[in-house]
Amino acid sequence: MPEKELRVRIAPSPTGSLHLGTVRTALYNYVLVKKHKGKFILRIEDTDAARNKGEYTKEILDGFKWLGIEFDEGPYYQSERLDLYKKLAQKLLDEGKAYHCFCTQQELEDLRKVQRTARMPEKYDNRHRNLTEEEKKKFLDEGRKPVLRFKLPDNQDIKWHDGIRGDICINTNDLGGDLVIMRADGIPLYNFAVVVDDGDMGITLILRGDDHLHNTAKQIPIYEALGYKVPDFAHAPLIFTHDKEKLSKRKHGDIANIDKYQKEGYLPEALKNYLVHMSWTKPDKSEEEVFSLDEIASVFDLDRISKNPAVYDLIKLNWFNNHYIKEKSTEEILELSKRFLGKDLDLSKYSKDKILLMIDAVKAGLNKLDELPGLIKFFFDDKFEFDSEENQKILSSDSSKKVLEKILASLDLMNFNDPKECKKTVDVIGKELGLKGKDLYWPLRVALSGSNKGPDLGLIISLLGKDKVKARIQRAPSVLV
């Protein structure tokens, strides 16, 4: 018998932008599918009209596209499948596996109040499970619109072997009572729609966040009631912050969402690699941490995913991003950074070759691409200020004036086409003045770039060219006084 094809899915609800946790779960599914040559399905769970937004659907789709996470099927939209949910809900009703519940919100709230006062767990007490026809008619005559509830088996252990969490057992008495599966307006609720879809789409493994463990216990009886084969389950740990809070947009703002990383110039490869590593460790930990999704797929296994919460670590993410930035050609970095560079800098001031040299000089220090304009801005800005205390100190020394004046007088000797030659000329001048190291270089650096740190000094001189070097030295405070 051929092994059954692996079919997995990711099923985001468009109630917010694409969340980091969703992407990580999607990645685990993605590498599993690659490893086992299965199928990956995208389903948008958009039945909650009050909380859904069309723009979130777009952001989710765009986010996956940007990351290069591709699907074999979908996107399917739950909002387009309402007839199927209605049909199967009716079937459960006809077979006595579901029933109409006429409770009002007030009645349910009163019930919860009583339970709270008695320090009992809050749950629906299944009071409308066995209504007589007369009772039902009376409620209907009162104008009540019933919801449909699924009859959970009483006091039954729901057990499964979870691909990540191991053996799980949850008793149906701890699941909050019979669950609503259809609202009065005919819209299905999550736990029902998800089972219909996963069953109908032949999903064989459900790999999702471990906040769904109790939902799984609710869903297994629904699979059975509908006659679907129960799929395998694996629940991955959620992402937490260092202070042990679940990473959420509401509490932690943009860091929870993919678009922040896209906007700031993170590379999709870096984000993917970082996210996969959050809870998963490669079999041989001594090996390098950076590898492609294909390489990860070849060694990926659910049992190497930790049960413990993953911890969001920006420093680690930046490390991955810096690594991938360094791996790209400078041309690629220029192309990927144009949206940042074009905003702040007038790129027409330099030839493309010179701009590539600037990028090349600072590339290795970049954590993300939106840092690039700040690092090469001085090349484009002839009027930067020297007002920092450090700059003032450097430029006010006696030797600074000597260095800068001597350089000014020697500009005709400089070979501006060659950074190394430029640097050599500076060193010769230093020798003549008996100055070296920071006494020699820092005044010049500050005069030319507004900072005592930065790219190679010879390169700065060469790229600025004679006129700019001259003008910048002439406006330096130590030369002016």
Binding site for ligand GLU (CB under 6 A): 11-13, 45, 194, 208, 212
DSSP 302: G
C-alpha 40/C-alpha 30 separation (Å) is 7
DSSP string covering 305-334, please?
A: B-SSPEE--HHHHHHHHHHHHHHS-HHHHH
Structure tokens that stand for 376 in this block: 């090469």
Q: What length does the chain have?
A: 481
C-alpha 349/C-alpha 345 separation (Å) is 9
Q: CB-wise, 199 or 458, nearer to ligand GLU?
A: 199
| Known catalytic residue at 260 | no
Burial of 43 (0-12, 13-18, 19+ CB in 10 A): buried
Q: How many other CB atoms sit within 10 Å of the CB of residue 192?
A: 25
Are 155 and 119 in contact by the 8 Å Cβ rule? The answer is no
From the CB of 9, what's the least distance to ligand GLU, in Å?
A: 7
User: Of these residues, 34, 151, 246, 249, which one is catalytic?
Assistant: 249
Beta strands 232-236 and 239-240, pairing class = unpaired
Structure tokens that stand for 334 in this block: 């220029």
Q: CB-wise, 212 or 402, nearer to ligand GLU?
A: 212
Are 9 and 193 in contact by the 8 Å Cβ rule? The answer is no
From the CB of 203, what's the least distance to ligand GLU, in Å?
A: 10
Cα 38 off chain centre by: 24
From the CB of 24, what's the least distance to ligand GLU, in Å?
A: 13
Are 69 and 26 in contact by the 8 Å Cβ rule? The answer is yes
From the CB of 174, what's the least distance to ligand GLU, in Å?
A: 19
From the CB of 53, what's the least distance to ligand GLU, in Å?
A: 14
From the CB of 191, what's the least distance to ligand GLU, in Å?
A: 9
Q: CB-wise, 182 or 372, nearer to ligand GLU?
A: 182
Q: List residues with catalytic annotation.
A: 249
